[in-house]
Homo-oligomer: A and B are copies of this chain.
Amino acid sequence: MTTTDQERQPVPPEARRIRVVLGMVGDKWSLLVVCHLRRGPMRFTELKRAVEDISQRMLTVTLRGLERDGIVTRTVHDAMPPHVTYELTPMGVTLCEATTPLLGWTVDHLARIDEARAVYDAR
């Protein structure tokens, strides 16, 4: 091998991007919550019911993270009874659109993935 010298720092910016994406939506609930908010603003309890099996704590933690990243907005309505709504920001909408191909890929390959796993596990 003679190319040993000039191949340092191959893809550091790509690595940075991947870390950022995973840090934002790589957890168990964020993408799920974002997907539900595509249809429009939702209240806390409404989300709690919609996102199956999420605990109250994890919904709060997830929403705080998404709010911090500028993906959702939190709006407190002073009414009787008082309530809070969450809504995708414009950036949140574009994030949603950016994930569409990946979700589509899963639809197209779910069967093949299950098959590959079965083959691998059988051996």
Contacts and interface: CB of A to CB of B under 8 A. Distances in A.
A52 interface: yes
A101 interface: yes
Interface stretch (A55-63, A78-86, A108-116): A108-116
B98 A98 contact: no
A11 B26 contact: no
Interface in A8-66: 10-12, 14-15, 17-18, 20-22, 24, 26-28, 31-32, 35-36, 50, 52
B101 A101 contact: yes
B35 A11 contact: yes
Contacts of A35: 11, 14, 18
Interface of A: 10-12, 14-15, 17-18, 20-22, 24, 26-28, 31-32, 35-36, 50, 52, 67-70, 91, 94-95, 97-107, 109-110, 112-113, 115-117, 120-121
Given A91-B112, A102-B102, 5 more contacts: A15-B32, A17-B103, A21-B106, A69-B113, A70-B112
Q: Which 6 A-B pairs have the closest CB atoms?
A: A70-B116, A98-B105, A68-B120, A17-B106, A98-B101, A26-B26
